Structure 1
Amino acid sequence: MVTAIVLINTERGAVNDVADELAGLEGVSEVHSVAGRVDLVAILRVPKNEDLAELVTGRIRHIKGITDSETLIGFRVHSSHDLENMFSIGMG
């Protein structure tokens, strides 16, 4: 499982529309509107790096209303929750 965090800025007034479109994409597990230097944070979870590349460059990059983004690739989860098993159900 590959996890990435995408920090996103949007055009004024486009936060909700961009968030809704992001949330509808396969591989996007969460979208948070946040306060701070970015407007949205999207959590991506996909089976392999090729899927991540397609999702970020092939799908997210083309969403109308996004003005800037930064993708952070996760190396290891430091959590008391077993996220790998939670998100691997049905993925083979």
Structure 2
Amino acid sequence: MITAFVLVHADADRIPETAQAIADLEGVSEVYSCAGDVDLVAVVRVREHEQLADVIAGGLSKVGGVRSTTTHIAFRSYSSRDDASAFAVGLD
């Protein structure tokens, strides 16, 4: 699974509608509104790199209210959670 974080600059008066339209796109797993240099952060998860172009350039960038985007592709995932313990629930 390929994960990309898309930083979105949006029209200030359309942020909620823009966020929902982005969240409705296939391949977008989450959208966060946030404070700071960008208005929204979208998490895109696809199986193949070629799908990134379809989701981001072909869909997300064309959503009404999106002014510009910057994409960061994740290499590895790190977590402090103990995922193995979640699978051991009920095995005692």
- Render the CA deviation track for 1:52-83: whole Å, top value 9, x for unaligned: 11111111111111111100011111114599
What is the percent sequence identity of the aligned residues? 43
* TM-score relative to the length of structure 2: 0.84
1:12-27 alignment runs, 5 A limit: 12-27=12-27
Q: CA deviation at 1:11?
A: 1.0
- In 2, Cα distance between the equivalents of 1:27 and 1:48? 11
5+ residue gaps, structure 2, are: 84-92
The question of 1:65 aligning with 2:51 is answered no
Aligned residues: 83
- In 2, Cα distance between the equivalents of 1:78 and 1:71? 19
Aligned to 1:30: 30
User: Structure 1 residues 78 and 15, CA, compared in 2 at 3 Å: closer, same or farther?
Assistant: same
Aligned to 2:86: none
Aligned to 2:42: 42
**RMSD (Å), alpha carbons:** 1.6
Q: Secondary structure at the match of 1:79?
A: coil
